[in-house]
Amino acid sequence: MILRDRPSALHLFFILRGSILPRIAGPLLATIAIAMAVTLVHGRLFDTKITLTPIPFSLIGLALAIFLGFRNSAAYDRWWEGRRLWGEVLIRGRSLARLWLNHVTPADAAETKAQMYRLIAYAYALKHGLRGVGDERAAAFLADDEVADPAHGVNAPDFILRRFSAQVAAASRDNRLSPLMAAEIEENLTALAGVQAGCERIRSTPLPFAYTLMLHRTAYLYCLLLPFGLVDSIGYATPLVVGLISYTFFGLDALGDEIEEPFGRLANDLPLDSLCRRLEIDLRAALGETELPPTLQPVDFCLM
């Protein structure tokens, strides 16, 4: 996620970090080149003059802008829902730590540490699962027998919640935890399971492909044909106008693709590394540890 102050008006045109421009540079340059060629030949294709007026492009452009805006709104809703779900991870993780530390009589100090570390491991395992990478960081907070358990490799976040819940049940059976507090803890664990399901739904259910494909095709065809509708009315300014319009439409199209999947490692994706580190710091501090990892800071204005 990009974190930076609003740049000055002049600097605004030279920012590439977090910009969509590198992703659309190829199609944008190709469109401008076609517009220059159309301008030089005055709208002729071989010996045929292609006569188009700006009117149909105005109507199509308006409709295209509306549909692109709708798609980007839907993509941003997915991005924001992902952020809300990860905010829930922090809320529930801190709540579980508080409930366990204040209401459970631990069998020994190792039990409390193991429970706090399981919550940390849950966040890392969820992040790794959503990004499709290995969970070495999560495994560092689990016991060797838990990492070796076959169930851990099937669905690590759910496995960790089951182990946490098993310790809650054991404490309840041993009368070290009241039934009321046990129910409260289980409610928070259920909420974390809901967070995982919500994140998996976002990751595994993209926007309908046919809808996205139609917008891709329409945007590209519109920008490729646009020079023929402008060259007779604005002449040598055609490449400039086509470039500005293409940048807007291609940029909105590519931006929707980028934020539709908010759990990746692109510059505009959610800072899952930072959120996991925040929970790790809070829970280890709750245990009384003093050698805590530092809060992650943006690198080149990008917080991962």
Give the other-Cβ count within 10 Å of 236's Cβ: 10
* pLDDT tens for each residue of the chain, 304 residues long: 666 666 555 565 556 666 777 788 888 899 988 888 888 877 666 666 666 677 777 888 888 888 888 888 989 999 999 999 999 999 999 999 999 999 988 878 888 999 999 999 999 999 999 988 876 788 888 888 888 888 878 889 999 999 999 999 999 999 999 999 999 999 999 999 999 999 999 999 888 888 788 888 888 888 888 888 888 788 888 889 888 988 888 888 888 888 888 998 888 888 999 999 999 999 999 988 888 888 888 776 677 6
Where are the domains positioned within the chain? 22-286
Predicted local confidence at residue 62, as pLDDT = 84
Instruction: State if pTM tops 0.75.
Output: yes
Model pLDDT, residue 212: 82
Residue 262 CA: distances (Å) to CA of 9, 115, 190, 259, 267: 29, 29, 23, 5, 10
Predicted pLDDT of residue 12: 57
